Structure formats: structure tokens, C-alpha cells
């Protein structure tokens, strides 16, 4: 596959997946048209780079479809200089896009995950639900996948009025959600049902059972 082939597929992805599916933020479209996603896909799976389905990675994880990434970026409303806590960095693709938007990115990924290096991105290895408290407070919490709930440990690492984007698993359905932290309390709104990868280690807190 040549660089020109990938460039053509990237253009087709932008036109057929993003523009037709409510990704209308021109800054998001511009960075996704620019950043070579193939560089963040395992070599033996690069033919799948621009398809609209998850791409399997090692260790049971998967890379989100481009549309999911685009919608999360749109809802995050990232501005240059924002401090972003990225949870579930996977291969570094979302980190590269956030950095291209001008964010200061702290990207958290599990031990043993794919190695990557993106200019301007600080990579932290450890439990995804623990975040990276050393760099707090953050302006944006960008969870690149679906979770059952956003843990308090991550909410506490956000500045007041900090923004959150993620997927929420609700009775086997994943929903794209966004919200803000005000006075230490996270309020979330469901935007649209959307297939996305599920991140490990984010089970909902079990209620008391009589």
C-alpha cells in the first residue's frame, strides 16, 4: 500500500464517514484529514485503517472506528492550550489528533500496551481508571471508549467546569455522552447510541443488596 493510497482512503473516510455523520467541526475534520492513521495501526492490519469498524489490537483491545473518534473530538471542544487527560490511549492515534488541535495531552495506557511516541504527548502507564493525578487539574477528560461509569478518581482530576467525553454502557448499549464538572460533581448528557470499543476496568459500582 502506497502513501498515495492511504491519502486517498483518508480523504474518502473524511467525506463518507465524518461529514455525513454530524462531525461538522472544521478543525476536527482538518486534523483527521491530516494525521496519517495508518501509522497508528499494526502493520499486519493496515488494510483496515480507514474502515468504519473497530480494529483489533493485541491484548484483547481494539482501536475505535474513525467516526467515534471524530464525534468524541467534536464534543470535547478542545482549544489550543487545553490540558487533556486521555484515557485508553491505545496506539496513540487520538493523542496525536488532540496534540494537533493544540492540546497538552497526558495519555494513559495500561502496562504492556502498544508503545508509541507523539511529540508533545506525555505517556503514563498504569491502570486506566486511576488516570494521572500528577498532572491535574485537567480541562478535558477524553475517555476513548465506553465505560459503565466515570470513576470519581478521574472526576477529581478535572478543573471546575472541566469537560468530559466518553461512551457509557447502558444495558449492553453504548451511548456517546458528554458532560461537565461543576463544584466537583459530574453531570452527563446522552447524545446518541454509537458502537464503540469498551475499556477494561470500569465496572459500575455495585449498590447495597439486602
Give domain status of residue 2, yes or no.
no
Give domain status of residue 204, yes or no.
no
Give domain status of residue 124, yes or no.
yes
Give domain status of residue 9, yes or no.
no
Cis ω before 137 (30° cut-off from 0): yes
Give domain status of residue 39, yes or no.
no
Domain that holds residue 70: 62-193
| Total domains in the fold of the chain | 1
Instruction: Please write the tens of the pLDDT for every residue from 166-210.
Output: 999 988 899 999 999 999 999 999 999 999 999 988 876 644 443
CA distance 141 to 137: 10
Give domain status of residue 101, yes or no.
yes
Give domain status of residue 117, yes or no.
yes
Residue 55 forms beta bridges with which residues?
63
CATH number for the domain including 154?
A: 3.40.50.150
Instruction: Please write the tens of the pLDDT for every residue from 124-166.
Output: 999 999 999 999 999 999 999 999 999 999 999 999 999 999 9
pLDDT at 171: 87
* pLDDT at position 5 over 60: yes
pLDDT at 204: 67
pLDDT at 205: 60
Give domain status of residue 1, yes or no.
no
Provide the total of helices (H) and of strands (E) in the chain, helices listed first: 5, 9
Amino acid at each position: 500500500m502506497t502513501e498515495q493510497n492511504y491519502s486517498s482512503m483518508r480523504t474518502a473516510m473524511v467525506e463518507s464517514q465524518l461529514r455525513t455523520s454530524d462531525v461538522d467541526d472544521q478543525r476536527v475534520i482538518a486534523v483527521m484529514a491530516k494525521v496519517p492513521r495508518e501509522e497508528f495501526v499494526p502493520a499486519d492490519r493496515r488494510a483496515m485503517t480507514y474502515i468504519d469498524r473497530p480494529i483489533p489490537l493485541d491484548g484483547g483491545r481494539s482501536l475505535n472506528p474513525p467516526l467515534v473518534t471524530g464525534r468524541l473530538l467534536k464534543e470535547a471542544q478542545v482549544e489550543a492550550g487545553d490540558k487533556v487527560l486521555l484515557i485508553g490511549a491505545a496506539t496513540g492515534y487520538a493523542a496525536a489528533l488532540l496534540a494537533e488541535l493544540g492540546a497538552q495531552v497526558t495519555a494513559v495506557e495500561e502496562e504492556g500496551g502498544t508503545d508509541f511516541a507523539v511529540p508533545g504527548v506525555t505517556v503514563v502507564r498504569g491502570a486506566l481508571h486511576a488516570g494521572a493525578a500528577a498532572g491535574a487539574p485537567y480541562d478535558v477528560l477524553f475517555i476513548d471508549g465506553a465505560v459503565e461509569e466515570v470513576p470519581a478518581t478521574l472526576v477529581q482530576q478535572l478543573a471546575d467546569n472541566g469537560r468530559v467525553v466518553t461512551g457509557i454502557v447502558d444495558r449492553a448499549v453504548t451511548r456517546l455522552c458528554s458532560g461537565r464538572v461543576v463544584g466537583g460533581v459530574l453531570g452527563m448528557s446522552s447524545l446518541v447510541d454509537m458502537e464503540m470499543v469498551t475499556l477494561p476496568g470500569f465496572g459500575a459500582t455495585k449498590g447495597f443488596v439486602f
